[in-house]
Structure 1
Amino acid sequence: MSWSETTLKLPGRMGSALGAQALASWRSIYLTAVVLVLVVTPSSYRRGARGMLAQQIYVQTAPVLTGFTALAALLCAVIARIVMVTAQSYGLSHYALDLVVRVMVIELIPLTAALFVAMRCTIPAGVQVVQMRTRGQLDTWRRQGVDPIRAALVPRAAAGVFAAITLAALSCIVALVTVYISVYGFNLAGFGGYTRVFGRIFTPSLTLVFVLKTWFFSLTVAIMPLASALYTPVARHRQGGAELGGFARMFAVLLLIEVISLMGNYY
């Protein structure tokens, strides 16, 4: 193929790629709306559904709590030490504690928790949905009058949201304790000043942005892998490109949410 022919076909390829990305984003938004409606529907919590939901919450949350807590504590200790030493070397030690709390608790911890849940929980849950599609289990449920979204996706999506929020809350507590120990050591001498710094940083508007950001992070990592698993053709999953494309879209959405939250906090 000549260079001129490739150049002529480039706009068409770009248009097809943008259309595919727009369709995937719309499917994710649609699935999010459907899942949220089903989550608040009482019929979604019948006896069998409650057992499936409890199982998914346990499977996606309990096995990763210890590992992520240790990772969060180590990460917070290292970053807090780096920031404190750097601030002291430039004579800015009175700003170091504010900077550590803002960077660790408000910005870094929620994003780290969301990515951790995506890699360890929700992307493997999406692989399970792909395997169910390959075996024909979703089609069997449809023939039996069972909604596959209610049976297969709602428990996994709700468990993913629960896991992301739980890890974010736990890691924030770990970060606050680790930062305090890194600055003041194992004593209560700086507890009063530390709580005043914390109260000064977490204003009502910043707290609202933080809660909304954590909520949208959890929805993103819970829904987008399942949307990719449900709507992407099985043949593409077998080729191995669907998971990578879905992760790229999810990461782009997470970055967009982070940028919007930064604008809400600092502009």
Structure 2
Amino acid sequence: MVSVVSWQRAVQDMGRAVLRWLAGWWHIVHFGALLLVLALSPSSYSGENRLVLARRIYIDTAPILGGFTVLCALVSLVLTRIVVVTALSYGLSQYALQLVIRVLVLELIPLTAALFVALRCTLPSGAELSQMRRRGELEALRQGGVDPLCREVLPRVLAGMFSTVTLAALSCVVALALAYLAVYGFVASGLPGYTRLFGQVFSPAVALIFVLKTLFFSLAVSLIPMASGLYDKADSSSRASAELRGLVRMFAVILLVEVASLVGNYY
């Protein structure tokens, strides 16, 4: 009898956990649709909201742009050198640059930029929103006639997306330039072959997948932490609880996007 009761309680607990999991993802989908409407509405960019948006974009992009670009340049230079030397030793030098472009530009840089922005900007912003919700600051804004989604949430989401795309785009340009210098040196004679190789790698389908993957990465690292900060009901007021839930959901979406892009590029 005791075992039957324990089994029933386990099933009930599992059912409640599944319902909470589904409710969490439904909140994210609903939250994303709501922010999409706000992002396309001209009234969201009037007056004080423009200043808040500009400030958030600067805070989430400028302090990390230089450091991330330098770090990406160093890693790109080291990886390029390793790939080129290894390809030469096996007599496969004609494939070295193509491998560098595919590994660095198509796969590693967008993923690294998204995770870097998430850890430095959007996850802490989501935890900050959770704290503001618990302290009643968002409700105070609403009672004062200010939409908290337009004033506090939308700028954070757009700033996270802008930061991710900016870091990925700049780092890709730096990686491509360093790959050329590592192989051809400071001469222009290799530009025709390099541009032809770049065009072979970035076919229209691959370029479209690359753009969509970067966009979805930026959406995942910007939207999910904010939704978790607004809707998750934590048992404690610690910032770590909101960050952890946002981190798990964010990694799940990033993994799905990465798998889908790999299937689209190589199958």
The TM-score bracket by the shorter chain reads: over 0.9
- Asked if structure 1 preserves the Cα contact closer than 8 Å seen for 2:130 and 2:242, the reply is no
- 1:208 maps onto 2:208 in alignment: yes
- Asked if structure 1 preserves the Cα contact closer than 8 Å seen for 2:80 and 2:100, the reply is yes
Supply the distance in 2 between the matched residues of 1:234 and 1:14 (Cα, whole angstroms): 19
Partner of 1:18: 18
Partner of 2:100: 100
Matches within 5 A, 1:34-53: 34-53=34-53
Deviations 1:168-226 (CA, angstroms, capped at 9, x unpaired):
11111011011111222222231111111001111111111111111111011111110
What TM-score does the superposition give when structure 2 sets the normalisation length?
0.93
Supply the distance in 1 between the matched residues of 2:91 and 2:14 (Cα, whole angstroms): 51
Matches within 5 A, 1:61-140: 61-140=61-140
- Segments of structure 1 that go 5 or more residues without pairing to the other structure are none
- Segments of structure 2 that go 5 or more residues without pairing to the other structure are none
- Asked if structure 2 preserves the Cα contact closer than 8 Å seen for 1:125 and 1:226, the reply is yes
What TM-score does the superposition give when structure 1 sets the normalisation length?
0.93
Against the structure 1 CA distance between its residues 93 and 132, is the aligned structure 2 distance closer, same or farther, given a 3 Å change threshold?
Answer: same
- Asked if structure 2 preserves the Cα contact closer than 8 Å seen for 1:130 and 1:234, the reply is no
Question: How far 1:28 moved relative to its partner?
Answer: 1.3
Question: How far 1:79 moved relative to its partner?
Answer: 1.4
Partner of 2:249: 249
Deviations 1:152-178 (CA, angstroms, capped at 9, x unpaired):
101111111111111111111011011
Give SS of 2:145's match: coil
Against the structure 1 CA distance between its residues 113 and 239, is the aligned structure 2 distance closer, same or farther, given a 3 Å change threshold?
Answer: closer
Question: How far 1:234 moved relative to its partner?
Answer: 4.5
Question: How far 1:141 moved relative to its partner?
Answer: 1.7
Range that drifts further, 108-117 or 185-194 = 185-194
- Asked if structure 2 preserves the Cα contact closer than 8 Å seen for 1:129 and 1:226, the reply is yes
Note the aligned Cα RMSD (angstroms): 1.9
- Asked if structure 1 preserves the Cα contact closer than 8 Å seen for 2:127 and 2:239, the reply is no
Quick one: percent identity of the two aligned structures? 52
Partner of 1:261: 261
- Asked if structure 1 preserves the Cα contact closer than 8 Å seen for 2:131 and 2:239, the reply is no
Partner of 2:152: 152
Supply the distance in 2 between the matched residues of 1:117 and 1:186 (Cα, whole angstroms): 33
Supply the distance in 2 between the matched residues of 1:196 and 1:237 (Cα, whole angstroms): 55
Range that drifts further, 19-28 or 61-70 = 19-28
Supply the distance in 2 between the matched residues of 1:180 and 1:7 (Cα, whole angstroms): 63
- Asked if structure 1 preserves the Cα contact closer than 8 Å seen for 2:35 and 2:154, the reply is yes
